Structure 1
Amino acid sequence: MLPFGRRALRRWFKKRAAEKIIPRAERFAQSLGVKYNQIQMTDSKFRWGSCSTKDNLNLNWRLIKAPVFVIDYIIVHELTHLIEGNHTPRFWNIVHAQVANMDKAKKWLKENGQLLLSDL
């Protein structure tokens, strides 16, 4: 269990993540013309996001520590699964059309993603 100060800071990060990320997801969903069921901020050490078969989006609260272009890439990536379930060329074309710097975001995550996984 985390000490009280670290738990409080983690709660603060999670709250800020929801406040920043959920409205961005709503805007991108509208832009893509998709509807999701609900969004949850998750606490995974293995995924930045996921989209369930019930159209629920799960986004890692640790993304709040990433640059906005990375957050946008993850949001759009997951929302695009509501259109195209697999990582087909069509899938990647849709993501790239919404996030022009998709390759930069993927590179940033590959090079810096581990930094986001630290507890704080």
Structure 2
Amino acid sequence: MIDGFNFTVDVIRTNRVRSVSIYLEGEIVKMRVPKSLSEKRIREFITKRTPWIKTKLKEVSERPLVKSKEYVSGEMLSYLGRTYRLKVTHGNETSIKLKGRFFSATVLKADKTAQETIRSMLISWYRQHAEIGLSKKTEYLAEIIGVQPNSITVKDYKSRWGSCSNRGDITYNWKVILAPQPIIDYVVVHELCHMLEPNHSSRYWKHVERYASDWRDCRNWLKTNSHSMCI
């Protein structure tokens, strides 16, 4: 409790970072800190960031509830900022394809768990296209910025869009490909610029500004829409 405000902080100590980062996963505040950072410094950082934490937790509590998907024909899905209608049919084998303005899902007629089958196929499809698309975009922008990532991967983050280790390992939340392309470009630039400045200092944001001048709009878009970017 700080200033009468109760919240939980999950501190993750690691040798893979050189500076402190703080973020939310649902209603849990998480911190990634260098392994050698003292408890006193951690507490000081939390105290300093308490106003930010209060604001973020308030935003989470006020978000409108997003209706869970049912994976039935007519449901809308997003990809690269555009919406596509789901079309479910029965066949001899399962498949998922993007055809025109439709996500076409084929499931076995006797499948008693068709909805879960469709969800699994969609996640696999999105992850595969995220790996390909984000790798290409990262390589392209890395050359412009003048850095060379050690690796590029995707994973299922709950509340982060990406991360960059001090070794240059860049990891993205695959769900970012639901967003429009300018938002994706911003996320890529955000992580690549950490290879120039491994923090969120004013120098870091100057780098981001140089390669993504609309970064404020993009960041605000993510804040507003992140809760609805789900499969």
Q: With structure 1 as the length reference, what TM-score do the two structures score? A: 0.93
Where do 5+ consecutive residues of structure 1 fail to align?
none
Tell me the residue number matched to 2:185.
72
Tell me the residue number matched to 1:27.
140
Cα deviation for residue 19 of structure 1 reads 2.0
Q: Once the two structures are superposed, what CA deviation does each residue of 1:6-33 show, in whole Å capped at 9, x if it has no partner?
A: 1011100111112221111111100110
Tell me the residue number matched to 2:223.
110
Mapped to 1, the partners of 2:122 and 2:199 lie a distance apart of: 36
Tell me the residue number matched to 1:101.
214
Q: Once the two structures are superposed, what CA deviation does each residue of 1:58-89 show, in whole Å capped at 9, x if it has no partner?
A: 01100010011111111111111101011111
Q: Once the two structures are superposed, what CA deviation does each residue of 1:93-116 show, in whole Å capped at 9, x if it has no partner?
A: 110110111111011001101111
2:199 aligned residue (86, 89, 92)? 86
Where do 5+ consecutive residues of structure 2 fail to align?
1-114
Tell me the residue number matched to 2:174.
61
The amino acid that maps onto 2:198 is G
Higher relative helix content: 1
Mapped to 2, the partners of 1:19 and 1:55 lie a distance apart of: 18
Moved over 2 A (4+): none
Q: Does the residue aligned with 1:58 lie in a helix, a strand or coil?
A: strand
Mapped to 1, the partners of 2:190 and 2:213 lie a distance apart of: 12
- For the pair shown, which has the larger CA radius of gyration, 1 or 2? 2
Cα deviation for residue 90 of structure 1 reads 1.1
CA RMSD of aligned residues (A): 1.1
Q: Does the residue aligned with 2:167 lie in a helix, a strand or coil?
A: coil
Paired residues, what number? Answer: 117
Cα deviation for residue 49 of structure 1 reads 0.1
Cα deviation for residue 3 of structure 1 reads 1.5
The amino acid that maps onto 1:49 is G
Q: With structure 2 as the length reference, what TM-score do the two structures score? A: 0.49
Which one scores higher on RCO, CA 8 angstroms, separation ≥ 6? Answer: 1
8 Å CA contact 2:166, 2:198 repeated in 1: no
Q: Does the residue aligned with 1:30 lie in a helix, a strand or coil?
A: helix
The amino acid that maps onto 1:35 is Q
Match status 1:42 vs 2:155? yes
